[in-house]
Amino acid sequence: MVKHLDPRVIKTRSSLKTALISVMQQYKIENISVQKITETAHITRGTFYLHYKDKRDFISRAMTEILDDFFDAVIDDGTDSLPEHYAFLNGHAVNVFYLNNAFNYIEKDAQMFNVLLNTQENGLFEHELYARMTGYLNRFYDQMKPAFADIGVPINIQIAFTVSAYVGLIKNWLIEGMIYTPHYMTGSVHKMISLVSAGSPKTVTFTNFFYSDPQLLARQTNNW
């Protein structure tokens, strides 16, 4: 049975996360106190400790919730986007990363992502984002291994390169003030991926994990 949270609990936790992001614009995580967070959120310390054990527990859970929400919005079944129908999948769905969803999602909460990725020297959020992306790419490889292109490079190096490229691109987009629209970013990545993935139409690489909606790209091309 699904357990539904009290709306007041959801509101309190949301207020605390918003306060955390606000405080992180001014202080490193190690210099942030529970008092500073609760004062910013206009919530008592007693209320805070009803929900979290301590600051470390709160920050850890807040980062997890932010990442959960992000990947829920950008990871979906992309079996139909693969080069062809693969019998070895036996009807199982293959999750891929929807680029247009990702750029749109980040744009809507740009301040939060910029703070988490570009203003914290300890890189807690970036580390967790890397780990999540790496996990999804490993699962993608495990599912698609029979059709994966052999390029003579160890899989762990391919994954590290791919994750670094995409996370780095997001960070740079935010640093430069998102001067390009999410649609433009999606189309640009699609063009670069198309060049990298040019080869046998039946093989798969990690570029196939990143999906660009062709209908969206068609509309975008007409507007360029």
pLDDT at 1 over 50: no
pLDDT at 45 over 70: yes
The per-residue pLDDT for 222 is 56
Under a CB-based contact definition with an 8 Å cutoff, are residues 182 and 113 in contact? no
**Per-residue confidence (pLDDT) for residue 199, from 0 to 100:** 55
Task: Identify the residue with better confidence: 22 or 89.
Answer: 22
pLDDT band at residue 217 using 50, 70 and 90 as cut-offs: low
What integer is the mean pLDDT of 15-37? 93
What integer pLDDT is reported at residue 90 of this predicted model? Answer: 85
Phi first, then psi, for residue 111 (nearest 5°) are: -60, -45
What burial class does residue 185 get, using C-beta atoms within 10 Å of its C-beta: 0-12 exposed, 13-18 middle, 19+ buried?
Answer: buried
pTM given for the model: 0.84
pLDDT, position 6: 79
Q: For a pLDDT cut of 70, what percent of the chain falls above it?
A: 87
Tracing tokens 């046998």 back to the chain, one arrives at: 200
Q: What is the pLDDT of residue 2?
A: 43
Q: State pLDDT tens for residues 167-203.
A: 999 999 999 999 999 999 999 998 888 766 655 556 6
Q: Please give the mean pLDDT across all residues of the chain.
A: 88
**Higher-pLDDT residue of 89, 98:** 98
The pLDDT, as a whole number, for residue 32 is 93
Say how far apart CA 31 and CA 78 lie, in whole Å: 42
What secondary structure letter does DSSP report for 98? E
